[in-house]
Amino acid sequence: MREFKRLTPYREALEMMLKDLGELNEIEEVPLSEAFGRVLAEDVVSPMDSPPFDRSAVDGYALRAEDTFPAREYSPVELRVVDEITAGEESRARVEPGTAIKLMTGSKMPEGANAVLMQEMAERDGDIIRVLRPVAPGQNVAFAGEDVRKGEIILRKGQVLRPQDLALLKSVGFRTVKVKRKPRVGIIVTGDELIEEFNEEALKAGKLLESNSAMLKGLVRQYFSEPIFYGVVPDKEEAIKSVIEKAKKENDLVLVTGGSAFGDKDFAHRFVKLLFHGTTIKPGRPIGYGEGVFIMSGYPVAVFAQFHLFVKHALAKFVGAKNYEVRIRAKLTDRIPSQLGRYEFVKVWYENGEARPIKKKGSGMISALVESNGYIEIPEDSEGYLEGDIVIVVIY
Amino acid sequence: MREFKRLTPYREALEMMLKDLGELNEIEEVPLSEAFGRVLAEDVVSPMDSPPFDRSAVDGYALRAEDTFPAREYSPVELRVVDEITAGEESRARVEPGTAIKLMTGSKMPEGANAVLMQEMAERDGDIIRVLRPVAPGQNVAFAGEDVRKGEIILRKGQVLRPQDLALLKSVGFRTVKVKRKPRVGIIVTGDELIEEFNEEALKAGKLLESNSAMLKGLVRQYFSEPIFYGVVPDKEEAIKSVIEKAKKENDLVLVTGGSAFGDKDFAHRFVKLLFHGTTIKPGRPIGYGEGVFIMSGYPVAVFAQFHLFVKHALAKFVGAKNYEVRIRAKLTDRIPSQLGRYEFVKVWYENGEARPIKKKGSGMISALVESNGYIEIPEDSEGYLEGDIVIVVIY
């Protein structure tokens, strides 16, 4: 049997793959209401100061701070209220010495005023308010440009847009945003042994229920991309060849599961010029990549590891995504031995600052994936980690 | 001016709200390919063992381990290959003493065999393989039910479905899954001062660009729910009353931003029987809740805090969601002072095990939300945390 002549070290394989893939050029302009989870195509510069004017941060009285400096509880300062405005209104009056203007949270500061006294701190009596304590200049004022300055870069290219990013864009007048087109990812599942529906007879005769398509569709969606499923293809050289060619034409990336090794029925790698085939990752060693096509394992757990170690980063490269991973520190609850020379993908359950390795072994163990919420990577030159070691967990 | 007579402590307000809201009963059966991010409506029991039969975990030769016990490199054991099957095929032959059957990863174990020799470990010569080392019973065999047992609960009600959960469901024969209907959330933005499009004149005259709708639509989607936006409503008693009534009829939950305090133009709370109004949270103190309606602040930063401290948990209650938050431990890079009696929502940037508080203050500071990726909660009885303290960060 042919075996891999050389296992490409993980980092080397990753670099080769990332170098081979270009960033997508196509940009879509979408309404903010549809931009959640999309990836920003360019830096965004604010067209205005925000707030655009000095405004009150509270409901209260705009005044001259100097006027209130002598104020004491036993000897209040009295000011005359010369106007009253609501939010969104502008006062035509000016705050002259000895006067104040009543306004609301968000109101534009009237001319002459440099501070706001909170409504509940003033004693009102007709046109007069009594101020019991001094107000500092600038108090309760939100200054123009305090949140964002005109011309400032407020969001960077590659940002996976979150609700607060959309709010910031809207607050400076944007109604749409330029995002990268979603990468299209073709999914091809191969294997004569696979069936799509529960069938007791077929299972008894050795068939297997296919589960990679459901998993990969979800994973592709999770990483800002659009899955297109090409169905389960039997292990026939011609069938596999033609579906791979079709999928390559229609997608930015193609994922083929099954047939990644060198068995008699492993055809997929014959139709793709692979940059690497066989890596140090464990599980998922037989992964191959070339021409925008990943040849992946058949077993879901291996496919899952291959997705997180390779495919996820390819999708991020397509759109230039930056904040697409949550990497946290945790203390290991148990030691994890690791084989020298293998780049291990270890499933863990993270909770309360601790990472507990999931012990179930075997690439058929989908339940182990379900019991985990993240993974640890152990490089080739490490024999593993000890109980109590601090490790980096990537949350999924 | 009326003020809150009493600020309801955060936990108390949260409990009141959660007690008032029931779980949604409506269940939808959706194809697995559309179930990513939906919430499981009931425990799922596996209808079968997985694998359904003992199968080979590698490409190789099924044999009787006992036959190989005497095998040494200088004195190999020879076995005769009596059949050859591919994955998905079943051998009709039986492994008798002195024989082996060639099979592939995933093949059903033939009768009589109890172990598999990896293909690359065997020397093949015509019908004969030479075994150089003993094979242990069970080696390279994935046993029936090893991943999942028939009758076992494989996923629990309330699971927010992830790609690996979908794979597990598919691997035991499901093609659809029962999930909770998405909660419908009506969003009403109030305020005479708000404009929807950039307009320099209007801004100069004191108007404000509305940004809560974009943020809330994103947040609602993030938490497995469907937003319905009712537009920006002016501060007119009748207009607000009628849109709240309409939205209450059409949604499971209604969010009204603006007008949560007791200003002359704060109408919303007059039309809803509130269980609480005014809480210890900071920012976002004036939040009120009753009859499935949240009366929220106008300022985006306060609305954001109110969403995470209250609304998110309400949405989770509707669908019984369990794994909807990532809570991690981190070391504070700076001290955070906190006001006694206030339940503070502090924005932080989490990276590399450390949480850095975002210093920008003010509920108008949307840029501070953008610069953060999580929050810390500081209860009423705490005066804050010191530099180096270990805190819980909720990632968003």
pLDDT in tens, chain B (396 residues): 456 778 999 999 999 999 999 999 999 999 999 999 999 999 999 999 999 989 998 889 999 999 999 999 999 999 999 999 987 788 999 999 999 999 988 889 999 999 999 998 899 999 999 999 999 999 999 999 999 999 999 999 999 999 999 999 999 999 999 999 999 999 999 988 899 888 989 988 888 899 999 999 999 999 999 999 999 998 888 999 999 999 999 999 999 998 766 666 677 778 899 999 999 999 999 999 999 999 999 889 999 999 999 999 999 999 999 989 999 999 999 999 999 999 999 999 999 999 999 987 766 789 999 999 999 999 999 999 999 999 999 999
Residue in A33, A88, A365 closest to B192 by CB: A88
Q: Is residue A120 part of a domain?
A: yes
Q: Which residues in chain B (184-203) have CB-CB distances under 8 A to chain A?
A: 191-194, 196-198, 203
Structure tokens that stand for A240 in this block? 């596999």
Q: Is residue B281 part of a domain?
A: yes
User: Based on the domain organization, do B160 and B254 belong to the same domain?
Assistant: no
Q: Which residue of B has its CA nearest to A361?
A: B147
If you write DSSP's letter for every residue of B53-80 in order, what string do you get? S-EESSSEEEE-HHHHTT-BTTB-EEEE
Q: Is residue A108 part of a domain?
A: yes
CATH for B355: 2.40.340.10
Assign 3-class secondary structure to B267-293.
Answer: CHHHHCCCCEECECEECCCCCEEECCE
Question: 3-state class of A359 per DSSP?
Answer: coil
Q: Is residue A215 part of a domain?
A: yes
Q: Which residues in chain B (282-321) have CB-CB distances under 8 A to chain A?
A: 298-300, 304
Q: Is B255 on the interface with A (CB under 8 A)?
A: no
Domain stops at, among A163, A180, A197: A180
User: Based on the domain organization, do A135 and A261 belong to the same domain?
Assistant: no
Where do the DSSP E strands lie in A213-339?
Answer: 226-233, 253-257, 276-277, 281-282, 288-290, 293-296, 326-332, 336-337
Name which of B391, B394, B379 is nearest B334 in CA terms: B391
CB pair distance less than 8 Å for A214 and B167: yes
Looking at A187-236, list the stretches that DSSP marks H as alpha helix, in order from N- to C-terminal side: 200-204, 212-222
User: Based on the domain organization, do B193 and B135 belong to the same domain?
Assistant: no
Structure tokens that stand for A353 in this block? 């600052």
Q: Which residues of A touch B56 (CB under 8 A)?
A: none
CATH for B188: 3.40.980.10
User: Based on the domain organization, do B301 and B338 belong to the same domain?
Assistant: no
Q: Is A137 on the interface with B (CB under 8 A)?
A: no
User: Based on the domain organization, do A365 and A286 belong to the same domain?
Assistant: no
Q: Is residue B259 part of a domain?
A: yes
**Residue B370 φ/ψ, nearest 5 degrees:** -70, -35
User: Based on the domain organization, do B77 and B155 belong to the same domain?
Assistant: no
Q: Is residue B138 part of a domain?
A: yes
Mutate to test the interface with B, among A190, A207, A366, A396 (most CBs of B within 10 A): A366
> Are the C-beta atoms of residues B102 and B120 closer than 8 Å to each other?
no
Parent domain of B62: 55-142
CB pair distance less than 8 Å for A369 and B193: no
**ipTM value for the complex:** 0.91
Q: Is residue A1 part of a domain?
A: no
Looking at chain B, list the stretches that DSSP marks H as alpha helix, in order from N- to C-terminal side: 10-20, 65-68, 163-171, 200-204, 212-222, 237-250, 300-306, 312-319, 366-370
Q: Which residue of B has its CA nearest to A392?
A: B352
Give chain B's domain count.
4
User: Based on the domain organization, do B289 and B360 belong to the same domain?
Assistant: no
**pTM for the full model?**
0.92
Q: Is residue A257 part of a domain?
A: yes
- Write out pLDDT tens, residues A265-291: 677 778 899 999 999 999 999 999 999
Name which of B378, B348, B349, B23 is nearest B181 in CA terms: B23
User: Based on the domain organization, do B65 and B208 belong to the same domain?
Assistant: no
The b/e string for A176-198 (b: 16+ C-beta within 10 A; e otherwise) is ebbbbbbbbbbbbbbbbbbbeeb
Helix (H) or strand (E) holding A18: helix A10-20
User: Based on the domain organization, do B293 and B203 belong to the same domain?
Assistant: yes
Q: How far apart are CA A195 and CA A139, in angstroms?
A: 70
**Residue B355 φ/ψ, nearest 5 degrees:** -115, 120
User: Based on the domain organization, do B76 and B64 belong to the same domain?
Assistant: yes
CATH for B125: 2.170.190.11
**Residue A136 φ/ψ, nearest 5 degrees:** -80, 150
CATH for B175: 3.90.105.10
Domain stops at, among A299, A319, A339: A319
User: Based on the domain organization, do B235 and B311 belong to the same domain?
Assistant: yes
Q: How far apart are CA A150 and CA A141, in angstroms?
A: 19
Section A128-156 average pLDDT: 95
Name which of A246, A244, A298 is nearest A272 in CA terms: A244
User: Based on the domain organization, do A275 and A194 belong to the same domain?
Assistant: yes
Quick one: pLDDT band at residue A262, thresholds 50, 70, 90? low
Helix (H) or strand (E) holding B100: strand B99-103
Location of structure tokens 């990513």: B36
Domain stops at, among A319, A351, A375: A319
